[in-house]
Each structure stands twice: as structure tokens, then as C-alpha cells.
Homo-oligomer: A and B are copies of this chain.
């Protein structure tokens, strides 16, 4: 058994205990026991994960009074208010109480939906996140953001509800589709570039091992990314300006995903293009060219699929409707230099001109 990296995220309503390591989903069993003892425990997962890991969470449940399995389909289509309502009905029908527990075992979809289900069930029950994708491990599982999608937009309905436990077993990343792993690494790169230059250097050095899911390489990088996320969430638990730095690349990224109907590019891939565009806006405001080039080169090594052709006016409309927009317009996250960023409101015509050029050649900066 490898060493467990431990940390504690303090938030306005308590604390989340974070455990990271290869095999930690098993080695955490004794530590989780008091939290589960004598409780009704709901375990939310998907058919694929139950098949891949039929007994990973089982061993935790010996001290529980009762286990109730909840299931949602694989993929983003599970993240609806209808699925949440169905789960609430089952939980009520099977006698869930305010002191019941919920464990979410899955990727970002399971974690976001499960967290929302826990947040609103009897006005909030305690839950644990056991993220199984790299993306969920380094991003969604930490910080208490929960959500479901509405036809009008992703993650538009939700709540802040921190898990009591986040159990990050880096072995799960090894079973991921490589493209899924790459998508998660892009979020690591985003955090590292804006918040943690030494972590960026580590990713630059180990990129190929990370893409190949080498456990020795993944451990420190996942722990570094989770720590960067933990620090920013503690500084700004409910997403004022500081935490919104994590939206670097997401303004255009979300619009690209939406314009493509969430097909063709993965979340991280769309965010990578969003970062490339934000770098151009940041260059206009004085981001040192060497810093920008470092990020462009690293993203270039990922071998991303091409950005499909998209009309800029469609993307502008989608960005104007972004849930992070405020009444006074869209605010962009732009790096000022490596390890630092700012929130900048920009007029739509400034964006429009830059966007058309960008879409015609997103990788231009790599070769200059």
C-alpha cells in the first residue's frame, strides 16, 4: 500500500477530509467506519462502474446499518432534475433520514448529481465523493459545487454542498479511456498555469507518463492539483472573484461544447481551446509572450482533435447567456503572468473581432 496524501478543506459549514493515493479506496476502510456506523447508506453509481469495480465500496459498508444502491445511466444525460427527483423518491421510499449517508462512486456526472441529491434531500445529508475519472478527481469532487443540467444550460441548477469525505484513488485513472485522461489533465494544466507554477513544471516534465497513466507520475500531480483547488476554495468558498479564476478557458470552452451539442470535443478539449483564445485576449493586456507560449506549447503536446468549424456569432450568443455572466456583461479570466490571473469585463465587440481571427487559426501562436 502506497502512502496516503491527506488534507482537510475548511469551509463555512465544516470540513471535508481529502484522502489521495493509489489504492486508497481500499485502505480508507477503517477510517470511514465511524462515519458509516449504524447508518442507512445510499451508494450512487452507474452500471459500467458497478461492472468494473463490483466490490470497491462494499468493504466500507460493514459497519453500516443498511445499504441501498442507487443507479443512474452512464454519461451526462443522467444529470437532470428528473433523475434527481427519481432518486429522492427512492430514498424516501427506502426510509432515508437526515442522518443517512450518500456515497457517490463515479465520474463528474455522478458526483455533481449525487452531490445535488445529497444537498436537497431533507435539506441536506452528509455525503462522500469517490471520483473515478481524473477530471472529477482534480476538479469536481473538491469544492462543494453540485448541479444538474436544464435544457437551457448545463449546471444551471445546483447548490454548494461540501462532501464530508473526498476519496481519490489514483488507480481509477488507469482504467480510463486515454482521451478521458487527457481531458482531465487539461484541467490540471489550467490550475497549474494560473495558480501553481511548480505544478506546471511537473506536468511539463512528466506529460507522457501522465498520459500513459503511470501511477508514480499521477500521484504527485493529482495531489498537487487537489491542493491547488483546496487552497482557492478555502479562500473563496462560494465563488466570488477569486474562485472564478478556475473558469480560465471555460467561457469560450462552454460555448464551444454547447454549440457542438456536447459531441465531438470533450470538456477538457473545449477548455483547451478556450484557454488558447483567452491567451490572445491576455496578450492584448500585457501577458508576457514567453508565458503564453509555454502554455500553448504544452497544450500542443497533447495532440488534441481539431476545433470543428463554428460560426463566431453563435458562440457570442452562447457566451452572453453563460450562467456566470452578470447583468453588466461577461467577465473573462485572463492570466497576467505565469501563476497570476485577473477578472476582466470585456465589451462584446472587442471579443467579436478577436474571435473571428482565432477561429480561423486557433494554433497560430504555437508556430510564431
The chain A residues found within 8 Å of chain B, CB to CB, are 12-13, 38-40, 65, 81, 84-85, 88-89, 92-93, 95, 97-100, 119-124, 145-147, 150-153, 156-160, 238-239, 321, 323-328
Contact = CB atoms under 8 A, between A and B. Distances in A.
A238 B161 CA distance: 13
A156 B99 contact: no
A92 B156 contact: yes
Contacts of A151: 89
A100 B324 CA distance: 12
Contacts of A147: 123
A223 to B, nearest CB: 27
A133 to B, nearest CB: 22
Contact of A157 (B120, B145, B324): B120
Given A99-B326, A157-B120, A327-B97, A81 B85 contact: yes
A35 B158 CA distance: 23
A122 B244 CA distance: 14
Contact of A120 (B159, B239, B326, B327): B159
B122 A323 contact: yes
Given A97-B327, A98-B323, A159-B159, A152 B92 contact: yes
A178 B88 CA distance: 37
B159 A99 contact: no
Contacts of A81: 81, 84-85, 88
A38 B327 contact: yes
A98 B241 CA distance: 13
A160 B39 contact: no
- Chain B CB within 10 Å, residue with most, of A12, A13, A120: A120
A89 B119 contact: no
Contacts of A158: 120, 122-123
A328 B321 CA distance: 48
With most chain B CB atoms within 10 A of its CB, the pick from A99, A100, A150 is A150
B119 A159 contact: yes
Nearest to A12: B12
List the 5 closest pairs (A to B, CB-CB), nearest first: A92-B152, A123-B158, A99-B326, A122-B323, A120-B157
Nearest to A120: B157
Contacts of A93: 152
Given A97-B325, A321-B95, A159 B124 contact: yes
